[in-house]
């Protein structure tokens, strides 16, 4: 399943094209079409489109029965203005691939190129090009799609590039590798008044001033603790931007983060209780809703072992340093019905960080990631 020099040139060109035309979560229509165009000459046995939004699944069948291996990449970019200065910079104002999903997609495209030449001997490989990872909606949409049951995997594997780690070096561990998180939007509602007579209204000001530090204080334990919890107030607004009206409504946005999903449920209950108490004290009504919900990503030992064995076979160094990470990944949902694992592929120790405006995916990682995944296919499916 070796890739040729011509393959690498094509894959780099494909990745850089995706980079020039980024689409953010939920808008990946043209990105999906470009993926399908690249896949078509590889002649997958099945191509499913529109999964969970704009997701694409390409299936390569073996001749004999066997397990199903799913490999996941992401299609979406970010609402960030690119400042990298590379020749293939984003041509879409205010949007860019500052997380490397274009590179992850190119790695799965490399697998399609190889699998198109030689199918697995048994089982099947599913290449899942998933939408909307950044909002947490993509994996939920894909796994809820009625067609997903027909391609449900026994093993689900993925990778993410990892700045701050030597180029091509891998971080991987059993257990939790990325935190659970969710955005909590709190709305406090009172009654507006003329700013000369604020006593005739019900302002949320005092409740907001008390509630924000209380929410921030919900954090517990150090990150190494299983009971770690973190609450970060990310946004607050109150009233209108005028001088003549005392406010009658406010919003507070808080990101809740834990290492375990059951701990997240506890943290939500604690936060909602604080909101209810602050609202009652101030005579306000309140509501709470949740957005961008990510479950914890947990590496099953059996799946992580597959990756470690492939890394060893390919001579790629790996360790557990820097894991788990505080950030979240919606890949965790694939682990609800399969043995799943994610590895983190080093982008370079001094490489710009993810979501920074000067970030660009290192093209040298495309063949490395593909080699590891194809080695897993060869070992498991022959």
How big, in percent rounded to 5, are the helix, strand and coil portions of the chain? Answer: 35, 30, 35
Show the beta-strand stretches assigned E in 210-356. Answer: 229-238, 245-246, 249-258, 285-294, 297-299, 318-319, 339-346
CB atoms within 10 A of CB 194: 11
Question: Do residues 47 and 58 touch, judged by C-beta distance below 8 A?
Answer: yes
pLDDT tens digits, 246-256:
999 999 999 99
Q: Do 285 and 303 belong together in one domain?
A: no
Global pTM? 0.94
Q: Do 192 and 282 belong together in one domain?
A: yes
Q: How far is it, in rounded angstroms, from Cα 324 to Cα 174?
A: 10
Q: Do 191 and 325 belong together in one domain?
A: no
- The angle that helices 101-117 and 5-20 make with each other, rounded to 10 degrees, is 140
Which CATH number do you get for residue 41? 3.40.630.10
pLDDT tens digits, 335-357:
999 999 999 999 999 999 999 99
Structure tokens at 191: 């009654």
Q: Do 28 and 147 belong together in one domain?
A: yes
Structure tokens at 128: 């899942």
Q: Do 154 and 302 belong together in one domain?
A: yes
Q: Of the candidates 294, 329, 358, which is a domain's last residue?
A: 294
Mean pLDDT over each residue of the chain, to the nearest integer: 97
pLDDT at 371 over 70: yes
pLDDT tens digits, 151-193:
999 999 999 999 999 999 999 999 999 999 999 999 999 999 9
Q: Do 162 and 213 belong together in one domain?
A: no
Q: Of the candidates 276, 294, 312, which is a domain's last residue?
A: 294
Q: Do 266 and 239 belong together in one domain?
A: yes
Res 217: pLDDT: 94
Structure tokens at 20: 């020039």
Q: Do 150 and 204 belong together in one domain?
A: no
Full domain range(s) for residue 191: 180-294
The stretch 15-19 carries a mean pLDDT of 98
Q: Of the candidates 268, 294, 320, which is a domain's last residue?
A: 294
The total number of structural domains in the chain stands at 2
Res 226: pLDDT: 84
Q: Do 125 and 13 belong together in one domain?
A: yes
Q: Do 51 and 71 belong together in one domain?
A: yes
Q: How far is it, in rounded angstroms, from Cα 287 to Cα 306?
A: 45
Which CATH number do you get for residue 186? 3.30.70.360
Q: Do 32 and 159 belong together in one domain?
A: yes
Q: Do 330 and 310 belong together in one domain?
A: yes
pLDDT at 270 over 80: yes
Question: Do residues 232 and 255 touch, judged by C-beta distance below 8 A?
Answer: yes
């Amino acid at each position: 399943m070796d890739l040729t020099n011509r393959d690498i040139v094509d894959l780099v060109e494909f990745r850089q094209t995706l980079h020039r035309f980024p689409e953010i979560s939920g808008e990946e229509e043209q990105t999906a079409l470009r993926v399908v165009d690249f896949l078509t000459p590889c002649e997958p046995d099945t191509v499913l489109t529109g999964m969970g939004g704009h997701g694409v699944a390409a299936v390569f069948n073996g001749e004999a029965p066997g397990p199903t291996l799913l490999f996941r990449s992401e299609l979406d970019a970010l609402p960030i203005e690119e400042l990298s200065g590379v020749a293939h910079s984003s041509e879409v104002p205010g949007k860019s691939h500052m997380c490397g999903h274009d590179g992850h997609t190119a790695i799965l495209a490399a697998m399609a190129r190889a699998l198109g030449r030689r199918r697995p001997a048994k089982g099947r490989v599913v290449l899942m090009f998933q939408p909307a990872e950044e909002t947490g909606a993509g994996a939920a949409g894909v796994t809820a799609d009625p067609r997903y049951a027909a391609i449900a995997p026994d093993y689900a594997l993925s990778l993410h590039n990892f700045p701050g780690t030597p180029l091509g070096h891998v971080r991987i561990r059993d257990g939790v590798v990325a935190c659970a998180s969710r955005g909590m939007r709190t709305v406090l509602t009172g009654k507006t008044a003329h700013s000369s007579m604020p006593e005739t209204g019900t302002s949320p000001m005092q409740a907001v001033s008390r509630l924000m530090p209380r929410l921030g204080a919900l954090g517990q334990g150090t990150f190494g603790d299983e009971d770690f919890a973190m609450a970060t107030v990310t946004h607050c607004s109150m009233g209108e931007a005028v001088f003549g009206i005392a406010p009658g409504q406010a919003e507070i946005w808080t990101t809740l983060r834990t290492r375990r999903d059951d701990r997240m449920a506890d943290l939500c209950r604690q936060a909602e209780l604080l909101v209810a108490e602050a609202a009652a004290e101030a005579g306000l009504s309140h509501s709470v809703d949740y957005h961008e919900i990510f479950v914890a990503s947990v590496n099953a030992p059996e799946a992580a072992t597959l990756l470690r064995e492939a890394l060893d076979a390919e001579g790629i160094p790996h360790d557990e340093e820097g894991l788990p990470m505080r950030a979240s990944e919606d890949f965790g949902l694939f682990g609800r019905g399969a043995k799943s694992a994610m590895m983190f592929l080093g982008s370079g120790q001094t490489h710009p960080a993810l979501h920074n405006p000067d970030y660009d995916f290192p093209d040298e990682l495309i063949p490395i990631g593909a080699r590891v995944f194809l080695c897993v296919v060869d070992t498991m499916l022959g």
